[in-house]
Copies of this chain bind each other. A is one copy, B any other.
Amino acid sequence: MTSKPRAPRSQRYNPASEDFHKEDFPFYWLNQVHGRYSVAVEKALKKVNLDIPRWRILFTLKEEGTCSVSQIAVHAIAKLPTVTKIIQRMKQDGLVDTRVRSDDGRVTEVMLTEKGINAVEDIRFITKDLFKQSFKGMTEAKIKRLNKLLEELFHNLPEHYS
């Protein structure tokens, strides 16, 4: 049995294709949004003497509670040596504290300090307008749809390996 000829699918969103156009490629828009978003957040964070890596770790700890260094690396999507060094800086800044896990001497547990908790609140306040502006004119259904689509893309992408 010969295979049925399929209707030719558009390849406009496929970078390997000849008729590729970046505007039809979701990762193009993803990068563009991520770029603008990062610049805007960076600018806001500078006001409270913070940056994106520190902010990501603060929010990871706020959402997940006390974490090991490698758990933070997974949630904040950063490399382990990078996280180690950011944590060292954040500890110097008094934003987090660390201790060795009692039942496993290899793991370093990281937790928010009072100052760290306050920083999270400060950030919420200074980024409020940005997020409000970002979703202007978008219904809740639309936001939900966007979340679902991004989540779908996320699960299609390879989980990071060692």
Contacts and interface: CB of A to CB of B under 8 A. Distances in A.
Interface stretch (A85-93, A95-103, A132-140): A132-140
A124 B77 CA distance: 25
Nearest to A16: B128
A161 B31 contact: no
B26 A34 contact: no
A70 to B, nearest CB: 15
Given A16-B131, A77-B31, A134-B153, A147 B24 contact: yes
Nearest to A128: B16
Most B CB atoms within 10 A — which of A63, A77, A128, A153?
A153
Given A16-B131, A131-B14, A135-B156, A147 B29 contact: yes
A65 to B, nearest CB: 14
Given A16-B131, A125-B16, A147-B26, A34 B31 contact: yes
A9 B136 contact: no
A130 B16 CA distance: 11
A30 B27 contact: no
A60 to B, nearest CB: 10
Contacts of A149: 142, 145-146, 149
